Amino acid sequence: MELVIYSSVGLAGYLSQLDKTVPMIILRPKLNGTNDYLMLVGQLFMIFNLITCIPLSVHPCRRELYITLLKRKAKTWEHFLITIFLIIISAIIGTAYPDIINSFSMLGGFCAVFIVIYYPGLLYLKLSPGKWGSPKKVILLVVTLILVAMGLIAAFISLF
């Protein structure tokens, strides 16, 4: 329900000011004759969101790394190293791509490949009856890997 409400408000706002809408809404110029305090508040909330986003995302990412790579409970020094590694990687990506639009498109492209193609394909493969070596499962695995490769190539091309 929230998606419908927010989408309809955003679409109505976009369509009502089509020629005046900037690509990134927080970059719009000040309104004439005002100090535009509401936009300043919006920009401050956006800054707060971006500042807290990375530290809050480190915990679930680190947990998944423990589960998939270590397959055991991590030691304190491993916990520290993985946290530092994730923060350094985030900082390198943020420094290499200072334009936030390119960063979001890169992230969206890579995440979409795995969320839309890779995980559903492997989930179907895992849950479908039959042996792993059956022709149906081999074909499905090959198609999934080809689609993942195409998606990753498209995501890399969008960077340049």
List, for residues 73-113, the tens digit of each pLDDT value: 778 888 888 888 887 887 787 777 667 666 677 777 777 77
pLDDT above 90 covers a percentage of the chain that reads 0
pLDDT above 70 covers a percentage of the chain that reads 77
- The pLDDT confidence band at residue 39, using thresholds 50, 70 and 90, is confident
Buried b (16+ CB within 10 A) or exposed e, 9-33: eeeeeeeeeeeeeeeeeeeeeeeee
**Nearest 5°: phi and psi at 124?**
-65, -40
Q: Cβ contacts of residue 117 below 8 Å, gap of 6+?
A: 144, 147, 148, 151
Q: Is the pLDDT of residue 128 over 70?
A: yes
Mean pLDDT of 42-54: 76
CB-facing half-sphere around the CA of 75: CA atoms within 13 A: 2
- The per-residue pLDDT of the chain, averaged, comes to 76
What are the residue boundaries of the structural domains of the chain, listed by start? 100-160
Q: Is the pLDDT of residue 53 over 80?
A: no
Q: Are 34 and 51 in contact (CB under 8 A)?
A: no
pTM: 0.39
Q: Is the pLDDT of residue 143 over 80?
A: yes
